[in-house]
Amino acid sequence: MKLSKFPYLVQKEILDEMEYKNLFLLSLVSRNMKKLIKTSQKKRFKSISHIKYECSRYDSNTLVVYIPFKDRVDFILECFDAENIAIGSGPFQLDVSGRLIDFRKVDSVGSLLPLVYGSSTRCLLFRIHGVHQSTIASSSPHKYEFVLESIHNYIMDLFGTSMEYDWKMYTNDKKLSIPQLQNLSGCAIIQYQNFVDWVELELEEHFFSSSPVLKWIHMQIGSLKEFSPDSKFYMTESIDIFKIDGVLDLLRYFQGRQAFLNACRYESSDFIEFVKRWKSGNAFQKLEYFYCNDHCSYESMENEVLNAVAKYIDTTKKPPTHTLPLVHVCIDNKPNTNPITSYAYVVRETDGHVASILFQETMFRFGVWDKTEEEFLAMVE
Amino acid sequence: MSSTEQGTSSAAPAEPTTAPESAAAPEVPESFYYVHGKDKVVHKVSAGALQHSALIHGMISNLGYTEEQAKANPFPFENIDGDILQMVVDWCNQHKGKPTPPEDTNLPKQKEKLFDLVLAVNYLEIKELLTYCCKQVAMMVKGKSPEEIREIWMIPTDAEDEAAEKEAKKRAGKEAAGETAAAAGDAK
């Protein structure tokens, strides 16, 4: 059966019926085939909102690349660290973004022979799941990042760049490097750790300094080694951190739009300084929303902070409610920030814009309005 | 069941056999049309079954043939093998007036038959059957390695594509040169 003998629309319909992982493999067959896939599947690929790289560095290295949908995920490929993996049929080389990568066909992972790279029997395998078989690309561990980069570039070339590429990492490493992948829009880091003995996580500054500013970062960690105040980390549009130990200097250095800090304790002086700097217009110019909470109530410091910085709406009136779309929608798929309905507000000196401030039990919320004080007060009922 | 007359190989349409219609006879008698493929075997198919084919439906919608005229003028599909047309007719009869199921497991498993069926169905513009066929073709490479896919779908390598492109260019160049020479000859 010669595929090219079919009219274009039939070829397109056949490709329409194929899963993403099979299209990925088909695209590796020839340059013309890749071109056909890109042309015929343009609309389908444009409907992909995210391509996710999910990596676990706990015990061993595994990585899955998948496309999430509302009701399912479609895997493109997976990569794992294997000590004893065996090969079903001989290797064949494929050109993946200009890098020749060894691919091998395996019938089942369990019944194969070891693969030896130099003196090491460890290797990293990229596997694409099929029904009965898998196709794997192998790489020695020291070449892992290069191979990953090539595969990422290839995926970007094939599927396009209209979607967001996210990196999610489960780790128990102390020092963490995030691969330098092009067009990465967000990064989630989840630290595996014994809760009694949290290790301070150190993220390599190099990743932030040499990459474009990320759209979002999500972290669930024990504690985090501080970044330099001018680190691009603080420029991330949305930072969402659940942290067990220590205070984070986000309240001082954040330059993005939305920040969510869980389990972070600040003093009243920190809040006062934060609000004063925002009011002056010298800092936090892009800020839209700031949220933090702690295990203990902020009740004791509420009056002190508000008396130092805030104005109040007439208590007989009903204040307007602040909410806005999240930059990064998390696992719970809630599209907007939690509402702030507060009598306390502050006004920025430079443009007269208003921000609502709310202390509520263990939470502090600060929401910036795209409105002047006059416009804001006109919304009061 | 298909209303097919097997074994007639003359160009002139022979008397076809008719499949028994359902017990509840329609009030208005159903009209029938006749088609044949490369093997000249004539198939009698109801207009209802033929509605699946946008091509044939378009051809018959304004004809207003009588039974005799229809019999005397079967639609010739010389580009479709007899057995493939038989499959198509069977499918149209089986799915006459019924909603099509999400999957069809009765499609041919042999590659070449499926290939011919896809071409026929595409030509006859039978949308649902084309979708089933395309699904089946796509399933052929599910879980296969690139090399296996290349083999199954006979996809040329980059080198082969390049050589074919070069060859095509060379041929086009020669043809253009030939035309220029002929035009110069004519001018003289």
Domain count, chain A: 2
Provide φ and ψ at A29, rounded to 5°.
-70, -45
pLDDT digits (tens, 9 = 90+) for A336-353: 999 999 999 999 999 999
Inspect the interface and report whether the beta carbons of B142 and A22 lie closer than 8 Å: yes
Residue A254 shares a structural domain with residue A369: yes
pLDDT digits (tens, 9 = 90+) for B127-169: 999 999 999 999 999 878 788 899 999 999 999 999 999 999 9
Tokens of A9: 């629309």
Nearest Cα to Cα of residue A172 among A2, A57, A26, A332: A57
- Last residue of one domain, picked from the residues A136, A162, A188: A162
B118 contact A CB<8A: yes
At residue A33, the pLDDT reads: 96
Which of A13, A19, A30 lies nearest to residue B131, judging by beta carbons? Answer: A13
- Last residue of one domain, picked from the residues A162, A189, A217: A162
Q: How many residues does chain A have?
A: 381
Res. B92: pLDDT tops 80: yes
User: Which residues are within 8 A (CB) of A256 and not within 5 positions of it... i.e. 6 or more apart?
Assistant: A234, A235, A236, A237, A238, A239, A286, A287
Distance between A148 CA and the closest CA of chain B, angstroms: 19
B127 contact A CB<8A: no
State the helix-helix crossing angle for A144-159 and A20-27, rounded to 10 degrees. Answer: 100
Residue A363 shares a structural domain with residue A254: yes
Distance between A17 CA and the closest CA of chain B, angstroms: 6
A7 contact B CB<8A: yes
Residue A242 lies in a domain: no
Average pLDDT over residues A152-174: 90
Tokens of A164: 């967001």
Residue A156 shares a structural domain with residue A279: no
Distance between A10 CA and the closest CA of chain B, angstroms: 7
State the helix-helix crossing angle for A8-16 and B111-124, rounded to 10 degrees. Answer: 120
Residue A275 shares a structural domain with residue A372: yes
Residue A374 shares a structural domain with residue A251: yes
pLDDT digits (tens, 9 = 90+) for A166-214: 999 888 777 777 778 888 999 998 887 655 566 677 777 777 877 788 9
Q: Domain of A135?
A: 48-162
Residue A363 shares a structural domain with residue A255: yes
Res. B13: pLDDT tops 70: no
Nearest Cα to Cα of residue A235 among A273, A181, A184, A287: A287
Strand order, beta sheet including B32-36: B42-46, B32-36, B75-76
Res. A118: pLDDT tops 90: no
Residue A152 shares a structural domain with residue A253: no
Residue A258 shares a structural domain with residue A158: no
